[in-house]
Amino acid sequence: MAKDKSDYFQKFSALEVGQLNIAFFLSLKKDIVYLKFDSTMRQALERMEYHRYASVPIIDDDGKYVGVLTEGDLLWKMKNTPGLTFTNTEKIHLDEIERHTQYNPVSVNAQMENLIARAAEQNFVPVVDDNEIFIGIVQRSELIRYCVECLNPSYFTSTKIDDQISANTAMTSTVWPRLQSKRHLFAFPAY
């Protein structure tokens, strides 16, 4: 058991001494899906559907990060635009769509603590250089994967991973109904 703890602390010491940086987790712009600010709503819908994404970064013509377009933003636009059809979404540009969720970027030179704090609030964190040029994203799932691998290096290569997932799913399916029946104790809304 002591060996496991020392391995844990040794692997996380990279964070403490600053050896690990944002670039370690970065998915480069060339490898991800993003939208240009002059794209149309139809282009956004088609691209998000094709790649099965719920949110996509937006950049301007100079490559600067503008924000993130989400499915929710598209739904709000549809709801608030009477007579909007899929065909005429090609007439609506992204600058006409209000974005309801703020995905704040971090600098590639920022501290890991800043990245982790943002990842706690966002599924992915846009990363910019010193000139605010969008260079990619860090996915929250990559940070979590790294932490899991530090805690248990064989977790993702284990043949028992399906058993672990099944056990977690079984537990959730038995615990959730009990929690829902007691939701008044926790002030949970009814679902």
Q: So what's the pLDDT on residue 132?
A: 94
Q: Which residues, including other chains, have CB under 8 Å from residue 89's CB and lie 6 or more apart?
A: 40, 41, 42, 45
Please give the average per-residue pLDDT across 49-74, as a whole number: 96
Q: Detail the DSSP E strand segments found in the chain.
A: 27-28, 35-36, 55-59, 65-70, 106-107, 124-128, 134-139
Counting every residue written for the chain, the total comes to 191
Give the per-residue pLDDT at 9.
47
**pLDDT tens profile 139-149:** 999 998 888 88
The pTM for the full model equals 0.70
- pLDDT of 70 higher than 70: yes
Q: Tell me if 156 sits within 8 A of 147, measured CB to CB.
A: no
Average pLDDT over residues 29-57: 96
Tell me which of 51-55, 91-95, 164-168 is least confident: 164-168
pLDDT bucket at 40, cuts 50 / 70 / 90: very high
Asked if 174 contacts 180 with a C-beta cutoff of 8 angstroms, the reply is no
Q: If you average pLDDT over residues 159-177, what whole number do you get? A: 55
Q: What is the pLDDT of residue 156?
A: 62
Q: Tens digit of pLDDT for each residue in 89-131?
A: 999 999 999 999 999 999 999 999 899 999 999 999 999 999 9
Cα distance between residue 19 and residue 143, in whole Å: 15
The answer to whether residue 190 scores a pLDDT higher than 90 is: no
pLDDT at 61 over 70: yes
What pLDDT, on the 0 to 100 scale, is given for residue 32? 95
